[in-house]
Homo-oligomer: A and B are copies of this chain.
Amino acid sequence: MPPTITAFANAPDRGRGLARDMGVRWALEEVGQPYDVRLLSFSEMKQASHRALHPFGQIPTYEDGGVVLFESGAIVLHIAERHAGLLPDEPEGRARAIAWMFAALSSLEPPVLDLTIAVIVERNEAWYEQRLPRVKDRIRERLRDLSVRLGNADWLDGAFSAGDLMMITVLRRLKASGLLDEYPNLPAYVARGEARPAFRRAFDAQLAVFAAASRN
């Protein structure tokens, strides 16, 4: 039995691959692990049967025999620990790749999420335009440092790793904002990730879910 993940039956991003199943799908494709997907409506996500798997009633989850996990970062790490291809064998490089995973989720994603929430929830407030530049500046602070560290390298620390996978997954959420384009090596970095065959297969799989839902 392949592992089963959960994903949105109707992704709010309309198939742009910005939901949190995307990183998990990408990791599974990178290591060549087939998987099943169970699609959930928004109301199903909040039911007790799903909350038993995910205490916050969200996607994705990961079930593989006796292993039941939530949090995309934890799921990607679990996959990376059990298959070759996403973490260096050498212990110091492995620890650094994991540090970049945490950096993506703890240092980059919070200000990115803040912008997403502001755009959705605060757009019609009188103070939206006043607050927005500060939200964007907090993102720029991180992007500038990330851009400096990446420099002319293809990936953050040697070969492509789960750290790059998580970082690119987070950075893709900024595309519509135009902020990435202020640091030219960052859109190029994201494009290198998106050009990987495993990314493409993962992207197409989630897009197919959206396309099928749109036909119904």
User: Is A208 located at the chain interface by the 8 A CB criterion?
Assistant: no
Residues of B within 8 A of A127 (CB): 125-127, 131
Digit string of A66-110 for contact with B (CB within 8 Å is 1, else 0)? Answer: 111111111101100000000000011001101101110111011
Bound Cα distance from A113 to B138, whole angstroms: 12
With A95-B67, A110-B109, A127-B125 in contact, is A148–B74 under 8 Å at CB? no
Tally A residues with Cβ within 8 Å of B.
48
Bound Cα distance from A72 to B103, whole angstroms: 9
User: Is A56 located at the chain interface by the 8 A CB criterion?
Assistant: yes
Bound Cα distance from A102 to B55, whole angstroms: 13
Bound Cα distance from A142 to B110, whole angstroms: 15
The answer to whether A102 and B126 touch across the interface, beta carbons within 8 angstroms, is no
Out of B91, B102, B130, which one reaches A105, CB within 8 Å?
B102
Interface centre among A58, A71, A109, A125 (most CB of B within 10 A): A71
Copies in the complex: 2
Out of B78, B92, B106, which one reaches A106, CB within 8 Å?
B106
Residues of B within 8 A of A101 (CB): 74
The answer to whether A105 and B103 touch across the interface, beta carbons within 8 angstroms, is no
Residues of B within 8 A of A122 (CB): 131
Q: Name the distance in Å between A150's Cβ and chain B's nearest Cβ.
A: 9
The answer to whether A66 and B92 touch across the interface, beta carbons within 8 angstroms, is yes
Residues of B within 8 A of A69 (CB): 95-96, 99
Bound Cα distance from A145 to B55, whole angstroms: 6
User: Is A17 located at the chain interface by the 8 A CB criterion?
Assistant: no
- List 3 A-B pairs, minimum CB-CB distance, nearest first: A74-B99, A71-B102, A55-B149
A-B contact pairs, 26 of them (CB 8 A): A51-B145, A51-B148, A55-B103, A55-B145, A56-B107, A56-B145, A67-B91, A68-B92, A69-B95, A69-B96, A69-B99, A70-B99, A71-B99, A73-B105, A74-B95, A77-B98, A78-B98, A105-B106, A106-B106, A109-B110, A110-B113, A110-B114, A114-B114, A122-B131, A125-B130, A127-B131
